[in-house]
Structure 1
Amino acid sequence: MGSGPAPRGATAARGRTALLAAGLTATTLTATLLAGCAGPTRAPRTAPAPRTTPPQALCAALVTHWAGVVLGAGEGEDATGLDYQSMGLSGDQNEILRAVLETARAVRRTEGTATARESAARDAEARCAARHRSGTPTGGPWQ
């Protein structure tokens, strides 16, 4: 093997191959960019606006749920083992729950659990609506 220059044809072939590879890379890159830019334009998807629950409906749902849990337990049993804050209730909602349960327990003794649950739901709805009649109470964070 000599140390002389490479044959003229080999150098030219390597140069053409490198030029061809660079051209293909540039063409591919350009096509990719243009395809991304020139594609069909669509309006961005927007999520629907979140639904909000009115405070009186939230109050009624919470009180009705916990009244059902307590009524489902036997007489005198601690159905949940939770205090009102652990149940997610405010102090006023807890007072509503206690009043609803007092009435519902009387109904359960005379008419059964199913009727007591229906009574509790109606009573919770009425009491929560009355509590929120003039807007959201502002007696403090736990009121």
Structure 2
Amino acid sequence: MATGRAPRTGLVLGLAVLIGVLAAGCAAPDGAASARDGGSPSPSATPREEVCATIVAYWAREVLDTGTYGDYQSMGLSNGQYEILRKIVDAARAESGRTGPRAEDRLIERRARTDCAAWYRSGGPGEEPWR
């Protein structure tokens, strides 16, 4: 289902930023460099709530642009993140119908941040990968 919006030209840039954000989580604990590598300390890792919000917002826009969902694993989401995504897409579709695509985009950003923060505050993914 097309929304009438122009195709995303920044897809490659967005994916590069996402990869950079995810790679930042691979730094040494507390951003400390090991003594043997002689390097400077790594920047602190991106909070998991921000990573969640980034990937959920990305996929919400993709779903709205294409009209189709992938399965949560192929999207790189946990089941909990996928549930957040589905709720945001439903809300964004309703918002777009009422007020247009710009409001839809603002809703996606706002809800991705608040819903991911709430999810992690209540325990997040836990030990099971599907949560």
Q: Normalising by structure 2, what TM-score? A: 0.64
Following TM superposition, where does structure 1 have runs of at least 4 consecutive aligned residues deviating by more than 3 angstroms?
A: 134-137
In structure 2, do the counterparts of structure 1 residues 134 and 109 end up closer, same or farther at CA, with 3 Å as the change threshold? closer
Which of residues 70, 82, 93 in structure 2 aligns to 1:105?
93
Give the share of equivalent positions with the same residue, in percent: 41
1:20-59 alignment to 2 at 5 Å? 46-59=39-52
SS of residue matched to 1:127: helix
Q: CA deviation at 1:108?
A: 0.8
Distance in 1, matches of 2:120 and 2:98, equals 31
Distance in 2, matches of 1:95 and 1:127, equals 10
SS of residue matched to 1:132: helix
**Corresponding residue of 2:105:** 117
Task: Show CA shifts across 1:1-24 (max 9, x none).
Answer: xxxxxxxxxxxxxxxxxxxxxxxx
Q: CA deviation at 1:48?
A: 3.7
**Corresponding residue of 1:89:** 77
Distance in 1, matches of 2:46 and 2:124, equals 13
Task: Show CA shifts across 1:56-85 (max 9, x none).
Answer: 111111111111112223xxx32x6x3111
CA RMSD, 1 decimal: 2.0
Equivalent pair of 2:92/2:104 in contact (CA under 8 Å): yes
Whichever residue aligns with residue 104 of structure 2, its letter is: A
Equivalent pair of 2:80/2:125 in contact (CA under 8 Å): no
**Corresponding residue of 1:6:** none
Q: CA deviation at 1:116?
A: 0.3
Q: Normalising by structure 1, what TM-score? A: 0.59
In structure 2, do the counterparts of structure 1 residues 124 and 106 end up closer, same or farther at CA, with 3 Å as the change threshold? same
Task: Show CA shifts across 1:20-55 (max 9, x none).
Answer: xxxxxxxxxxxxxxxxxxxxxxxx851441531211
Whichever residue aligns with residue 131 of structure 1, its letter is: W
Gaps of 5+ in 2: 1-36
Which of residues 32, 38, 63 in structure 2 aligns to 1:70?
63
| Range with bigger deviation, 58-67 or 111-120 | 111-120
